[in-house]
Amino acid sequence: MAEFSTRPELRGTFGMAASTHWIASAVGMGVLERGGNAFDAAVAMGFTLQVVEPHLNGPGGEVPIILKPAGGEPVVLCGQGPAPAAASPEAFAGMDRIPGSGVLPATVPGAFDAWLLLARDHGTLPLRDLLEPAIGYAGGGYPVLPQIAAKVAEVREVFTGPWPSSAALWLPGGRVPEAGSMHRNPALAGTYRRLVEEAEAAGGGREAVIDAARRVWREGFVAEAIAAFCSRPVPSGTGEPQRALLTADDLAGWSAGYEETVRADYAGLTVHKTGPWGQGPVFLQQLRLAEALGTGDADVLSADFAHLVTEAAKLAFADRDAHYADPRFADVPLEALLSPGYAAERAALVGAEASLELRPGAPGGRAPFIPEAAEAGTSPGADRTGGEPTVDRTGTQRGDTCHLDVVDAAGNMVAATPSGGWLASSPVIPELGFPLGTRGQMFWLDPRSPGVVAPGKRPRTTLTPTLVTRGGEGVMALGTPGGDQQDQWSLTFFLRLVHGGMDLQRAIDAPMFHTNALVGSFFPREISPGELVVEERIGERAIAELRRRGHRVVVSDPWSLGRLSAVARDPETGVLRAGANPRGMQGYAVGR
């Protein structure tokens, strides 16, 4: 199959910004043009994405960030808020799974504090400059994507019934906003405008103003509005009254923080991911398996490549669900999971035929937790707001999450995957203009699980940006939305770059695939044994060969899987590159 590119790979020396929405990418480039660095650009892009992709993320959500300052070490900035102090298995009595919508699964909103910590410690511009684009689009209007209109139409009955505050924002005049129309969120614009004004009134320099804004969020009018909203019963998506576990003390007692990346060397590169409170290490486990299986020797557009990648993914993701959790609360055998010896042991399980079994390993002799997943398609779906915003496991892109990447001329680099607090997660808090997130649905209630819910514990999220270095220099930042598919699509993209000789855009454009033979991270936690979803463009011959090998192949639309973006830098020449996903007609890269 000939390589195909929808757009050119961007090249330049000044700066590159790429994301899942053209407006955010343009905002990032505008910040670079005004003299800001990559971290300033990322912050402005992150707040803009909350406005223009509200079906995918919001201020009540979270964000993991991996950053690489020029001349410094890569580091993770964790913007994943923990479970409230009242969160325990007993708090969900009578349930076998934590619900996917409403206020019960709300964790501490983490995105705001993380973005501001990044701005304070690594940025250069004032807070007002970084929030100005988001305020402008929220107050003045932004174009409604077809996916936004579709999501609002899907949950319209919930909004007009138990969630009238959401109806007030998303059903102006009682009608679903038309795709392409301009939509405003005055309450959110007012929230961010007041935050800036109160922070500036506190006095001090740039850093002091940013810290003042962080205090206003955690302890001031924002926290007061969230706490008041959570203090009374709030209807779930089915109309059942719930009382949130989240309190003012939870909000005041948490702040974002830094931690070391988890890393692995591959083909002369070092790949950096979050710790096992996210699914990031599963990317690294798949790299170890690729080494053991010789995946790099296969044609990266072939059925053989898809088979090897898929079978490795099944093994790695089975380990994810058996062993990963917040390492502050669970003893995660990460060193054993990432060891070449363990990879060789696991690779021996891969044969010529597709496996239909869930096969977690026992790294270092650690007995695996086997989660009780629901068979796909068997779970009740009365609450259409629940779970992940992308609910179609066949690959139809109805939403999910956001992603952004930035690199500047100095070599500063950042990858971030904002998510949570989307418009269908829970009711809008009227005074603030946004809903809470529902990331708590990723906890388990089974006490045997390392991921069992506990006070102050981070859920094992799916959000997983990637940053790559070579010889200590940042060479690439990448990522994609997609829940459980994120570290499948990103891994395939990376292997095609390394072994297929593709540029960024061609690797993004190439036909994509993923397996659903893993335990879903979102309510209702489904699994589809043996299921392999492929874009039709992979070709009839490859599809037939994969079916012959026993894969239960689901053929998706030609341009339906993945929303990757990436930026890159050559440390020797200073040349910068970027690419972004054409699927859905909204992701763009900008640079010069």
The 10s digit of each residue's pLDDT in 49-74 is 999 999 999 999 999 999 999 999 99
Q: What is the pLDDT of residue 396?
A: 47
The answer, as to whether pTM is greater than 0.75, is: yes
pLDDT at 386: 63
Q: Which phi and psi angles does 371 have, rounded to 5°? A: -70, 150
pLDDT at 237 (0 to 100): 87
The answer to whether residues 581 and 20 touch, using CB atoms and an 8 Å cutoff, is yes
- Give the per-residue pLDDT at 387: 64
Task: Name the nearest CA neighbour of 566 among 555, 556, 576, 551.
Answer: 576
Number of C-alpha atoms within 13 angstroms, CB side, residue 162?
Answer: 22
Sign of the four-CA dihedral 500, 76, 487, 382: negative
- In whole numbers, what is the pLDDT of the chain averaged over residues? 95
Contact yes or no for 482/390 (Cβ under 8 A): yes
- For residue 524, whether the previous peptide bond is cis, meaning omega lies within 30 degrees of 0, is yes
Residue found under tokens 């932004």: 142
Q: What is the DSSP string of 76-127?
A: EEEE-----TT-SGGGGTT-SS--SSSSTT-----HHHHHHHHHHHH--S-H
Cα 146 to chain centroid, rounded? 21
Q: Are 568 and 544 in contact (CB under 8 A)?
A: no
CA nearest 132: which of 30, 39, 220? Answer: 30
pLDDT of residue 385 exceeding 80, the answer is no
φ, ψ for residue 378, nearest 5 deg = -100, -10
Q: Extract the tokens encoding 323.
A: 């062993």
Q: What is the pLDDT of residues 291-345, one digit of tens each?
A: 999 999 999 999 999 999 999 999 999 999 999 999 999 999 999 999 999 999 9
Between residues 243 and 381, the one the model is more confident about: 243
pLDDT at residue 381 greater than cutoff 60:
no
498: left (phi over 0), alpha (psi -120 to 50) or beta: alpha
